[in-house]
Amino acid sequence: MLRRPRRNRTSPAIRSLVEETHLTPDHLVNPLFLVEGEKVKSEVKSLPGVFRLSIDEILKEIEESMNLGVQSFIMFPAIPESNKDKTGTYSYDPNNFYLEAASTIKKHFPECCLISDVALDPYSIDGHDGIVRDGKIVNDETLEVLAKMSVAQARAGFDILGPSDMMDGRIAAIREALDDNDFSDTGIMSYTAKYASAFYGPFRDALDSAPKVATDIPKDKKTYQMNPANKQEALIEGELDTMEGADFLMVKPALNYLDVIHLMKENFDLPIAAYHVSGECAMLLAACRNGWLEYEKAMPETLLSIRRAGADVIITYFAKDYAKLVGR
């Protein structure tokens, strides 16, 4: 035999010499769930090990994470029902605790990268990412709210905004509003190919943000989030987001969409982010808790697969655990 691929697998030193994919804590983003109040730390039932945190606890979490080498965070708010309405006005209220928390975080940790969530669902009594009228999600009116929300978030100190709403034209609307208000340095990580997935369950539990059940409210997000059967369509979204001024293109979820991550990496020059979503993490945790998989091996292999598919950046609830495992 002339060709023996096993020769390059002989020892750890040789294996590391020919290792093709590298994943370090530098590539990871740690998601945070913010709640109002103080000294709150309540575990998300469907996502063990992940907590809803008040700002004082969030500061501790950020410090611990930064010490492990994970310096980027994406923060989501759990908004009390009493602050929700049809058009999400609380999202740009100057007294909004999410915006206050962002300012506090950037004051304590100016060197961290803080990413926001731009969408109506945490603030909407209907639980949708856009404004609901006559049983429909109205696109262009939603853009006006998203633009106001974005300027408020930039003002609060977020480094990068994360529009997760999937309305048409939102990146252009947000970019224009930011530039008009002197926030030309605030970046946009667009949820470019976000699918209408069954894997967001634990996240919606954490924020209590699932679409409400009523006859005049669409029961799912299929008129704005993408059909899991489609791949070509991700290229259309990618082209639009690139032209409209996005700084990152995201694919979400990650594991069931590794082919889409690969496709985006091949077709666009912008950095590609992948969101390893709550349901994907919950699945692995459940198997590990049952003793069916070994966490310390299955978790890094999973994250590596997302990176190998082409993700430059990975948002994952396992960010800190991965950093602990591999060191800095």
Contact call for residue 195 and ligand PBG (CB under 6 A):
no
- Candidates 51, 73, 97, 200; binder of ligand PBG (CB under 6 A) is 200
- Candidates 98, 195, 203, 322; binder of ligand PBG (CB under 6 A) is 203
Are 310 and 325 spatial neighbours (Cβ–Cβ below 8 Å)? no
- Candidates 124, 278, 302, 316; binder of ligand PBG (CB under 6 A) is 278
Contact call for residue 119 and ligand PBG (CB under 6 A):
yes
Contact call for residue 324 and ligand PBG (CB under 6 A):
no
Shortest distance in whole angstroms from residue 54 CB to ligand PBG = 20
Helix axes 295-309, 319-326, angle to 10 degrees: 100
Of 180 and 220, nearer to ligand PBG (C-beta) is 220
Shortest distance in whole angstroms from residue 74 CB to ligand PBG = 9
Shortest distance in whole angstroms from residue 311 CB to ligand PBG = 15
Contact call for residue 46 and ligand PBG (CB under 6 A):
no
- How many Cα atoms are found within 13 Å in the side-chain-facing hemisphere of 132? 24
Task: Check if 212 is active-site.
Answer: no
Contact call for residue 126 and ligand PBG (CB under 6 A):
no
Convert residues 47-86 into a mask of x (bound to ligand PBG by CB under 6 A) and - (unbound).
----------------------------------------
* Nearest one of 220, 216, 164 to 196, comparing CA atoms: 220
* Residue of 84, 221, 252, 265 marked active site: 252
- Angle in degrees, CA 52, 163, 81, rounded to 5: 45
Shortest distance in whole angstroms from residue 45 CB to ligand PBG = 14
Binding window for ligand PBG (CB under 6 A); candidates: 7-15, 114-122, 256-264, 292-300: 114-122
Shortest distance in whole angstroms from residue 31 CB to ligand PBG = 7
Restricted to residues 150-189, the positions that interact with ligand PBG (CB under 6 A) are 164
Using CA atoms, how far apart are residues 121 and 125, in angstroms rounded to an integer? Answer: 8
- Candidates 106, 148, 204, 324; binder of ligand PBG (CB under 6 A) is 204
Task: Check if 194 is active-site.
Answer: yes
Residues in the chain: 328
What number of chain residues touch ligand PBG (CB under 6 A)? Answer: 10
Are 69 and 26 spatial neighbours (Cβ–Cβ below 8 Å)? yes
Instruction: Give the 3-state secondary structure of 68-91.
Output: CCCCEEEEEECCCHHHCECCCHHH
Shortest distance in whole angstroms from residue 213 CB to ligand PBG = 15
Shortest distance in whole angstroms from residue 168 CB to ligand PBG = 16
* Residue of 84, 194, 221, 320 marked active site: 194
Of 250 and 293, nearer to ligand PBG (C-beta) is 250
Of 40 and 210, nearer to ligand PBG (C-beta) is 210
Of 121 and 241, nearer to ligand PBG (C-beta) is 121
Q: Point out the residues that are catalytic.
A: 194, 252
Q: Which residues bind ligand PBG (CB under 6 A)?
A: 117, 119, 121, 129, 164, 200, 203-204, 277-278
